[in-house]
């Protein structure tokens, strides 16, 4: 009975409108496309921080890259009026995430911090979340990856190394969020302060195009950014209610 009532509780919780408003935090990222230079430092930062494997030329040729954050490029016009725009795309941590509904084993779900999770050790590898994700930000481990020794000494011990058959994606650097919460607790604080957590990509961005923070705090940088008149969300028409906001590129 307790099992059943727990199940019903969870069910009701998920069904309740405004459930997401009760999140402890609402981690959000804002990316100013007017500042993005396409340098891809964010990609290397992510690769270093999150133990993203080196897949090799053959696998890349087969389209098996793993890039939790990638910089997409879109050309407009032809010579001499050609224009190139960059847009970093990573997991958008949608509040209405299509991927979350489809995972048969709940390896991906929405947690109380407004994060779209991916629990690697629960994943059975149906890859359906990657199909359902319109942003194509979920990457699959098609085999066990290998680091030529001693490259493996660089691996971040705070992030697990994913084995074959597991889906992976951007976590907003959950290990850093966890660490910041840990520090907050040490200091006897209830909440993490603004600026305490910076995912690797945000930390490293040379032009400071990326901003990260808790949307619940209406004062901080990210809240200001997402109220900017230039704000938009990629593929907003799909109503994914994503947590990554982009600021439009200025065409002057």
Partner 1 sequence: MPNIDRRDFLKLVGAGGVSVGAGFMLREANKDATEYLIPHVVAPEDFSSGLATWYNSVCSMCPAGCGISVRTREGLAKKIEGNPAHPVNQGGLCSLGQAGLQVLYNPDRLTGPLKQTSARGSGSFEQITWDEGLDQLGSRLDLLRAARRGNRVAMLTQGVRGHLAQLFDNFMRQLGSQRLLHYDFNHPHTLYAANQRFFGQDRLPYYDLHNTRMLLSFGADYLTNWISPVHHSLGFGESRQGSSNERGRFIQIEPRMSASGAAADEWLAAKPGTEGILALALANHIVSEGNYAGADRADWAVALTDYTPAKAAEQTGIPQSTITRLADSFIDIQPSLAIGGGAAANHSNGVDTLMAVNVLNYLAGNIGQEGGLLLNPEPTSVVSQQQQASYSTLLEFAEAARQGEIDVLILNGSNPVFTLPQASEFREALASIPLVVSLSSFLDETTAMADLILPSHTYLESWGDDFPEPGMGFPVGAVSQPVVSPLYNTRATGDIILALARQMNVGTALPWENMEECIKDGWRQIYERGDAQTLAQGFDSFWTSVLRAGVWGETAAGDSEFTLDRSVISNIGVQAPEFSGSEEDFPFILHPYLSPNFYDGRGANLPWMQERPDPMTSVVYGSWVEMNPSTAKELDLIEGDLVDIQSLHGTVRAPVYLYPAIMPNVVAMPIGQGHQEFGRYAKDRGVNPIEILSPEIEPITGQLASSATRVNIVPTGRRSKLVKTSGTSRDLGREIVQFADVNGVELSSAGSNSIPITEVTA
Partner 2 sequence: MVAETNNLGYTDIHEDVVRSIVKTGPKYYIALATAGGTTLLCFFFPWFYQLYYGIGAAGMNHPGVWGTYLASFIFWIGLSHSGTLLSCVLHLTNSSWRKAMYRSAEAMTLFSLVVAATYVMVHVGRPWFIHWALPYPNQMELWPNFRSPLMFDVMAITTYITGSTIFIYMGSIPDFAAVRDRTSGWRNTMYTLLSLGWRGTDKEWHRLHWAYTFLAVLIIPLAVSVHSIVSWDFAMSIVPALHQTIFAPYFVVGAIYSGTAGIVTVMFVLRKYMGFERYITKLHFDNLGKLLLVLSLLWTYINAVELFTSWYSGTSEEYEAVGFKLFGFYAPLYWEMILFCAVAPLLMFSTRFRTSFMPMLILSIVINIGMYTERFLIIATSLPRQYLPDAWGVYVPSAVEVSIMVGSFALFTTLFLVFVKIFPSVSMYEVKETMATPKLGSVAPASGSPA
Partner 3 sequence: MNVSIVPSLKKLRPVAMLVIVVLLGLVLGYWANAAFLPGTSPEQPIAFSHRIHAGENEIPCMYCHTQARLSPSAGVPSVSKCVGCHLEIATERPQIRRLMSYWDNQEPIPWVKVHDLPDFVHFTHKRHVLAEVECQTCHGPVETMDRIRLTSRAADGTAQANHPWEMGQCLSCHRENEVENGTDCWTCHK
Residue 111: φ, ψ to 5°:
-100, 180
- CA angle, residues 25, 26, 32, in degrees to nearest 5: 135
Contacts of residue 6, Cβ cutoff 8 Å, sequence gap at least 6: none
| Cis preceding-peptide flag for 150 (omega within 30 of 0) | yes
- Is residue 182 part of the contact set for partner 3 (CB under 8 A)? yes
Q: Which long-range contacts (CB under 8 A, 24 or more apart) does 17-21 make?
A: 20/95, 20/110, 20/114
User: Site for partner 3 (CB under 8 A): which residue of 99, 174, 234, 244?
Assistant: 174
Q: Residue 230 touches which of partner 1, partner 3, partner 2, none (CB < 5 to 8 A by kind)?
A: partner 1
Q: Residue 111 touches which of partner 3, partner 2, partner 1, none (CB < 5 to 8 A by kind)?
A: partner 3
Q: Which of 179, 75, 87 is nearest to 136 (CA)?
A: 87
Q: Which is nearer to partner 1, 64 or 122 (CB)?
A: 64
Q: Do 139 and 166 form a contact (C-beta atoms < 8 A)?
A: no
User: Site for partner 3 (CB under 8 A): which residue of 16, 62, 164, 178?
Assistant: 178
Distance CA 174, CA 172 (A): 6
Q: Residue 134 touches which of partner 1, partner 3, partner 2, none (CB < 5 to 8 A by kind)?
A: partner 2
- Is residue 129 part of the contact set for partner 3 (CB under 8 A)? no
Give how many residues touch partner 1 by CB under 8 A: 80
Q: Kindly write out the interface string for residues 163-202 of this chain, putting x where it contacts partner 1 by CB under 8 A and - elsewhere.
A: -------------------------------------x--
Q: Residue 115 touches which of partner 3, partner 2, partner 1, none (CB < 5 to 8 A by kind)?
A: partner 3
- Is residue 184 part of the contact set for partner 3 (CB under 8 A)? no
User: Site for partner 3 (CB under 8 A): which residue of 33, 119, 130, 238?
Assistant: 119
- Is residue 67 part of the contact set for partner 1 (CB under 8 A)? yes
- Is residue 37 part of the contact set for partner 1 (CB under 8 A)? yes
H-helix segments, 23-146 = 41-49, 57-61, 98-102, 128-132
Encoded tokens for 217:
């705090």
As measured in angstroms, the least distance from the Cβ of 110 to partner 1 is 12
As measured in angstroms, the least distance from the Cβ of 130 to partner 2 is 4
Q: Do 174 and 83 form a contact (C-beta atoms < 8 A)?
A: no
Distance CA 6, CA 166 (A): 28
Q: Which is nearer to partner 1, 31 or 123 (CB)?
A: 31
């Amino acid at each position: 009975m307790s099992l059943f009532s727990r199940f019903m509780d969870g069910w009701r919780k998920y069904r309740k409108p405004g459930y997401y408003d009760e999140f402890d935090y609402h981690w959000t990222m804002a990316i100013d496309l007017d500042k993005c230079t396409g340098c891809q430092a964010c990609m290397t930062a992510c690769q270093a921080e999150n133990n993203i494997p080196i897949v090799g030329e053959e696998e890349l040729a087969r389209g098996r890259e793993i890039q939790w954050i990638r910089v997409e490029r879109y050309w407009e016009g032809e010579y001499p009026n050609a224009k190139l725009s960059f847009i970093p795309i990573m997991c958008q941590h949608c509040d209405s995430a299509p991927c979350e509904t489809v995972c048969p084993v709940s390896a991906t779900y929405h947690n109380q911090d407004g994060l779209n999770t991916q629990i690697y050790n629960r994943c059975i590898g149906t890859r359906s979340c990657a199909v359902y994700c319109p942003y194509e930000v979920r990457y699959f481990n098609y085999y066990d990856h290998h680091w030529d020794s001693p490259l493996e000494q660089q691996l971040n011990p705070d992030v697990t190394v994913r084995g074959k058959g597991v889906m992976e994606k951007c976590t907003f650097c959950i290990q850093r969020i966890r660490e910041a919460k840990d520090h907050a607790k040490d200091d006897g604080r209830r909440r993490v302060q603004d600026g305490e957590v910076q995912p690797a990509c945000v930390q490293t961005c040379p032009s400071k195009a990326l901003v990260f923070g808790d949307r619940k705090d209406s004062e901080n940088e990210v809240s200001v950014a997402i109220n900017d008149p230039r704000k938009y969300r990629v593929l907003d028409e799909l109503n994914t209610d994503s947590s990554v906001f982009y600021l439009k590129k200025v065409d002057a």
